[in-house]
Every structure is written in structure tokens, then in C-alpha cells.
Structure 1
């Protein structure tokens, strides 16, 4: 491997903003926000909307509330209504 062309690989805490689940992993991503981990050290905190803790594929649960909200927004945007 060529020297000096690869980004710095360091420990980072990822947090699922939906569930609050946190995990420590290595990453090249960095953040100005830090959090204290269970070992007493501070690590950069990366906030994520979806992780294995909240994604339906991994949890086995489908979240219909988000899908319903998207459908309603689409109908409002394009003027569709429920006319029986």
C-alpha cells in the first residue's frame, strides 16, 4: 500500500437518533461533537438516522407511521384526496 494516501482510521461512537442506541467502531469519519464511552474515554460522536437497531430488516418490525406520513405528504403535494 502507498504511504500517506489513506485517511486516518480511529475509534468513533455511532448513535441511532431514533432509538438512542450507541456503538463504538472504527471509522475515518470525524465529528466536533464528542461523547464519553463506557471505558471512560471521549470519542467523536456520529449521529445516524438508521442503524441495525432501528432498521426493519434487522429488527423484523415494519414502522408504518413513517410510511403513512410520506403518503400523506405526497398526496398534499400533488393535490390527491380521498373521494369515495
Structure 2
């Protein structure tokens, strides 16, 4: 393989922000945040909104609270009311 053209492949921790579920794997992604893992090592922390722990396809049920639809979240974000 040519040197200097491949991304850095390292161990990272992914954390599901909805459930707190964490897992250690390898990735080319990096992060400015880090976390100490069970083995005593410190690894980059990458936060994701959905993982196999909360995705309905894997769990069979929706685990996180109803956050509303896209329109509802938009309205809430910009402090708007839905038209009647």
C-alpha cells in the first residue's frame, strides 16, 4: 500500500445519545472528545442519535420518548405555533 494516502484507522467509542449505550470498535472517524474505556484505555468518543440499541428494526419497539415529527421539532426550535 502507498504511504500517506490512507486515513488513520483507530479504536473509537460510539455512544447512543438516546439510551447511553456505548460500544468500542475501530473507525477512521475522529473526535475532539474522549472517554476512558473499561480496559483502561482512552479513546475518541463519537456520539450518535441512533444505534442498534434504540433502532426499532433491531429492538422491535421504539425505546426513546416521542420527540414529535420533523415539523413539530422545527416549530419548537423557532418558537412558532402550528397554524389552526
List 4+ stretches of structure 1 deviating above 6 A: none
TM-score relative to the length of structure 1: 0.78
Gaps of 5+ in 2: 76-80
CA displacement at 1:18 relative to structure 2? 0.3
Task: Classify 1:10/1:71 alpha carbon distance in 2 versus 1 (closer, same or farther; 3 Å).
Answer: closer
Structure 1 SS opposite 2:45: strand
CA displacement at 1:71 relative to structure 2? 7.0
Write the mapping of 1:1-84 to structure 2, written as runs, cut at 5 A: 1-62=1-62, 65-66=66-67, 69-70=68-69, 73=72, 76=82, 79=83, 81=84
For these two proteins, the number of residue pairs brought into alignment is 76
Structure 1 SS opposite 2:66: helix
| CA RMSD across the alignment | 2.2
Task: Classify 1:39/1:3 alpha carbon distance in 2 versus 1 (closer, same or farther; 3 Å).
Answer: same
Structure 2 SS opposite 1:57: helix
Structure 1 SS opposite 2:69: helix
TM-score relative to the length of structure 2: 0.78
CA displacement at 1:40 relative to structure 2? 0.4
Higher helix share: 1
Question: Bigger radius of gyration, 1 or 2?
Answer: 1
